Structure 1
Amino acid sequence: MIDHLGIQVADPDASAALYTDVFGPLGLVELMTFDVPGGRVIGMGWDRKPFLWVSPAREDAACELHVALAAGSRDAVDAVHAAALARGVEVLHPPRLWPEYHPGYYAVFVRDLDGHNVEAVFHDWSVGA
């Protein structure tokens, strides 16, 4: 089981603002920050536990990453989509079922400020059961 994920980005403050705006409907909030050479590290999550961290990228560290954040319902996925559109974020794939993964896989995919593919997904295990 994965406990947390760190992503190197060009501007941690801007990235954290985007993530908390777009994925706020899932409950994602900024929980912790600390200074490091080159900027700040920002931990986001829900409740008290940061699980998604952004930190300043080294010049040689740029690469596309895919991460999926769990949503509690299809409505939450739709709310992420609405928040992304409201913020002008590139939507790679609007919300829909992805039966190639499993019959109840409902997700939206967006592109963050550094080109990462970030998904909000709801797993409805009652579909096709």
Structure 2
Amino acid sequence: MIDHFGINCADLQASAAFYDKVLGVLGHSRLMDFGVAIGYGTDGPAFWISEQPSEGPASGPNREVHIAFTAPDAATVRAFFDAATGLGAEVLHEPRLWPEYHEHYFGAFVRDPDGNNVEAVCHTAQPGD
């Protein structure tokens, strides 16, 4: 299991606006804000965004990462997708069942402001959801 996960952002404010909105749809919120790092979650900060360092080994181009956030149902996956695309996120995959993963896997994929592949997924969807 993952305790927490963090990514670096080229524009922390743009990323904060993105994650405030799309994670809010999934029932998560900004729990901690240190100005240069923001933690999101429900019971504790499990997902962090931080300023991209300008010097040192972590500076330079940000590599794409994939982040999948749990959604309770297909409707919430759709709401996540609508929130993200409403903010101008690039569509990678519209909401749908992904039977190649398993028969109840319903996900939607977008790019965040830093080019990361961000997904909302429900593992209990039914055909027709």
Q: TM-score range by the shorter chain?
A: 0.7 to 0.9
- Count of aligned residue pairs for this structure pair: 122
Residues 10-25 of structure 1: pairs in structure 2 closer than 5 A:
10-25=10-25
| Amino acid in the other structure paired with 2:51 | P
Equivalent residue for 2:99?
99
The answer as to 2:39 corresponding to 1:43 is yes
Equivalent residue for 2:113?
113
TM-score, normalising length: structure 2: 0.87
Equivalent residue for 1:64?
64
| Amino acid in the other structure paired with 1:55 | S
Instruction: String of CA shifts for 1:65-101, please: whole Å, max 9, x gaps.
Output: 0010000001100111111222221111000011111
The answer as to 2:47 corresponding to 1:52 is yes
- 1:26 Cα deviation after fit: 0.4
TM-score, normalising length: structure 1: 0.87
Q: Which segments of 5 or more consecutive residues in structure 2 lack a partner in the other structure?
A: 54-58
- 1:17 Cα deviation after fit: 1.3
Equivalent residue for 1:32?
32
C-alpha contact 2:73 2:125 (8 A) present in aligned 1: no
Q: Write the distance in 2 (CA, Å) between the matches of 1:21 and 1:34.
A: 19
Aligned-residue CA RMSD in angstroms? 1.7
Equivalent residue for 1:5?
5
Q: Which segments of 5 or more consecutive residues in structure 1 lack a partner in the other structure?
A: none
C-alpha contact 1:44 1:52 (8 A) present in aligned 2: yes
C-alpha contact 2:94 2:108 (8 A) present in aligned 1: yes
Instruction: String of CA shifts for 1:93-113, please: whole Å, max 9, x gaps.
Output: 000011111011000001001
Q: Write the distance in 2 (CA, Å) between the matches of 1:86 and 1:125.
A: 24
Q: Write the distance in 2 (CA, Å) between the matches of 1:7 and 1:92.
A: 19
1:125–1:25: structure 2 CA closer, same or farther, 3 Å change rule?
Answer: closer
